[in-house]
Each structure stands twice: as structure tokens, then as C-alpha cells.
Amino acid sequence: MKTKYLAILVCTALLALISLGAAGAAAEGGNLTLTQEYDLVGNRSLETQYYLMERDIRLIAEDGTPKGGEKYRLRLMIEPGDRSLGEADKYTCREFTLQIGDGAEVTIPALEGWSFDFERGSLDEAMLDEQGLFFGIPHTRFEGLSDSSGKVLEPINAYQIYDVFIGFLSFNGYAEPDPRGRGIQDLRRIGDKIVRPAGSESPISLGDTIKEGSTFKGGGSTLEFKGLSLVDGAPCAILSYETGMGSFTMTFEVMPGMEVTSFGVTYITADIYLDLSSKWMKKAEIIVVDSTKAILGDQVIDRSIVQTINTIKAVSEAEFRAL
């Protein structure tokens, strides 16, 4: 009996040693994985991609008092073009919704089914196309928008809807190679980082809604290969994006003959998860903080802090249809 008991103890000890050895090997393998080189810009999947983007804007007064908020929601489908053939991607908005404060959520009928072609390589350094449009997005689509209740949108809400599309293209773009250099193609190992200098300037005008001369000046930015993660079971590279303090000037007409100019500074942080297999953005979490001052004539009419939380998530076709 004693011999049997000793045999059991020996077997148990051997199993424990084998288990520890396997764990050690896994840990070593994990370290090797974390230190290896990765190709983040290989051939991407040509399968149709489906995304849900949500933007939650929270307005805060100077004294910290909440001033309300707005929520924007975009369902977006992308049919990839074959880059080896110089084909553009086709983007289609399936639905766009808006909720202001505690009001009812409404849709924007003019955007349902709207499609546009997009090819990043055709843009210049400032992300303008040959017509001077930011990311090539036509302004006319966002002029005179009404919601599903028939109400004409305020200029600033129309601009936010336009900017949701701009935001998606911007952050999806950080997960794509930049033909001008200093992009994701330069990130090979965890810890690699690229730095873009301050001083870039982009127009943020929008037709008759946001006046010409409205601009954003970048404060520089960094893009870092931060680590690895799993998203819905898919191995992903984590890209960390952070800006220096940017600034903007925006002028819009609140009513005929009455213009308000808003000045402010902007700070942005984001984590972007790139599917290592498909080479498409799997999800992104972006926080934007603005400190703003609005002027009517020579009078300051408002000072606010604006926190904008953006989330982008890739979903399956079935989930997309069911949303």
C-alpha cells in the first residue's frame, strides 16, 4: 500500500514538472512573439467590411456643470477595391442616426444608401483631393440636411455628421500604409513609434454651413505599435495614437447676417486595433477633448469643454443587417 502511495506521489510530481515545463515554454514562445517583426501592411482582405461608428459628445461648462450632449451613429459598409489594379474602395452609408439631449433618436434620410468612392493615394499631403475637398468628401451632401421628423438640422449638427465620416476615414487611415511615408508601414516591432511634426493645417469649412477660412492646425502626433490583443477571437496589433495640442478656428452662420466664430484647442488619444490576418481595422476607441470659446461680434457668448468619445467596431454582415 505504501509502495502504491509513493508511486502516486512520484507520478503527480512528474506531471507537475511537465506542466511547469510546458508553461515555461509557452512563456518563452510568448516572449519571442512579442519581440518578433510584424508586417502590418500586407495584402488586405477583399471581403466586404461592415462597421458601426458611434460618437458621444458631452458638453461641459467652465464650472464643470454638464450642458447636455449629442449622440451620432453610423452604419457603414466598405466594398474594397483591388489596390493592385488601382481600384478605389466603395463606401456605403446604410443608416445615420442622431439624438440631441434626451430627445428622440432620428435618422437622416438623405444619407441612407449614399455611396462614395475613396482612394487614399489620390490625396495630397493635406488629405485634399484635386477639387480641394478634405478626404474628397463632397460638401453638398451635408447642406440643408433634415431629420426623419422633417426638422432642418442646425449648422453645427450638420457639421458633426460630416465630421463623423471624416473621423472614420482619418482613424481607418492610420491602419493603412501612407504613400507619403511616416505611416504604419514603418512600424515593425512592438515599441516602434513614428512622430509627425506640428504645423500641418487643414480646412474644416463645409459649404455655406461652416465658412471658408475655418481651419485646424495640428499640434504634431505620434503613432506607436503598442502591443497585441484579441478582438472577437482575432489576433490584433494595437496602434496607439496621440496628438500634441492642436488649434482650430470655425465660423458659422447661426442665422442670416449673424455669424459666430469659435476658437479652441484640441487634444486626441486613440487605440486602434488592426486585424493581423485581414489587415482591416477591427475596432478603435478615440477620445477628443476640446476647450472652446465662441464669439459673436466682440462679445464672448460661450466657453465650454467638449469631450467627444468615438467608438468604431467591425461587425459581421448578420450583425450589421440586424442593427
From first to last of the 323 residues of the chain, give the pLDDT tens digit. 434 344 443 344 433 333 334 333 333 334 447 889 999 998 999 999 999 999 999 999 988 899 999 999 999 999 999 988 989 999 999 999 999 999 999 999 999 999 999 988 888 877 888 888 889 999 999 989 999 999 999 988 999 999 999 999 999 999 988 877 778 999 999 999 999 888 888 888 898 878 989 999 999 999 999 999 999 999 999 999 999 999 999 998 877 788 999 999 999 999 999 999 999 999 999 999 999 999 998 899 999 999 999 999 999 999 999 98
Residue 21 domain-assigned (yes or no): no
Question: What are the tens digits of pLDDT across the range 129-155?
Answer: 888 888 999 999 998 999 999 999 998
Rg, C-alpha atoms of the chain:
24
Residue 216 domain-assigned (yes or no): yes
Residue 317 domain-assigned (yes or no): yes
Overall domain count for the chain: 1
**Nearest CA among 310, 266, 269, 317 for reference residue 72:** 310
* 174: enclosing H helix or E strand: none
Residue pair 282/316 in contact (Cβ under 8 Å)? The answer is no
Say if pTM beats, i.e. exceeds, 0.85: yes
Residue 7 domain-assigned (yes or no): no
Residue 202 domain-assigned (yes or no): yes
Domain range for 181 is 43-322
Residue 22 domain-assigned (yes or no): no
Q: What is the spatial distance between Cα 202 and Cα 20, in angstroms, rounded to a whole number?
A: 56
Residue 8 domain-assigned (yes or no): no
Residue 9 domain-assigned (yes or no): no
- Alpha carbons within 13 A on the beta-carbon side of 75: 17
How does DSSP classify residue 205?
Answer: -
C-alpha distances in angstroms, 219 versus 129, 222, 289? 23, 10, 14
